[in-house]
Amino acid sequence: MLAFVLLLRKILMPSNLGVEKRSQIVGMSQASLSIRKIALRMGVPKSAVHDTIRRFQEHGACADRPKPGRPPLLNEADRQNLDNYITHNRRANLNKILQAIPNNVSNRTISKAIHDLGKRSCIAPKKPYLREVDFHRRLTFAQQFGHWNIQAWARIIWTDESSFELGKKADQVRVWRTPQEKYSLQNVQVNHRSGRRSLMVWGAFIGSTKGPLVFLDGTQTAATFIEQVYEPHL
């Protein structure tokens, strides 16, 4: 029961009275008011009144004592500037960030500060380039069929073809982002078509059933596509 009372007091009563309240407590004490009366007037526990008076007698002041340990290398304004910079320069590496932030701090300090902001250095997902009209078409599709349930989608045959470039470097781009920002436009590595030799494949699935992976030969026309894909596989 005693432990519960102490816990409840800790939750309901602030641990730091503040300089103004401590000064009032000391003034009442010097005016010869008892600890009990001071506690009733101030609405604080008697233990808080006793500790305030004792600390004033020991240190001669009501101000907060300096916090132990070294102050942080980056203050709140520094962290805000850091957040703004990486929000507008998500692909900057730590060295570039250090040059942009006017603080004499290490890579490790900057990295920890970025992590404290909820951001990590992540590999940008590779996605095809989309035009403005493509965004609107996808949004229209989602609005038109967003009410469909799993059973309705399971009756649809999904098909797609894709090309894979031969001899292409598997380069990776890293961006600073939060987990929720993975597919934001500024965090995606856009794939553009190039003149390299490519391999074209076609695939399909319906529900949980996968169709065959078809390798397409040469340049495709409507007739050759029907001959190689639709007639033998659909």
Predicted confidence (pLDDT) per residue in 21-62, tens digit: 888 888 898 888 899 988 888 888 888 888 888 888 888 777
Q: Which residues pair with 177 in a beta bridge?
A: 120
Specify burial of residue 73 (Cβ count, 10 A radius: 0-12, 13-18, 19+): middle
Residue 188 vs residue 65, higher pLDDT: 188
- Residue 4 pLDDT greater than 60, yes or no: no
Residues paired with 123 in a beta bridge? 174
C-alpha to C-alpha distance for 124 and 127, rounded to whole angstroms: 9
What pLDDT does 11 receive? 44
Q: Which residue has the higher pLDDT, 97 or 103?
A: 97
Angstrom distance (rounded) from CA 38 to CA 214:
86
User: How far apart, in whole angstroms, are the C-alpha atoms of residue 191 and residue 171?
Assistant: 12
Cα–Cα distances (Å) from 54 to 6, 42, 162, 174, 220, in that order, read 21, 17, 77, 56, 90
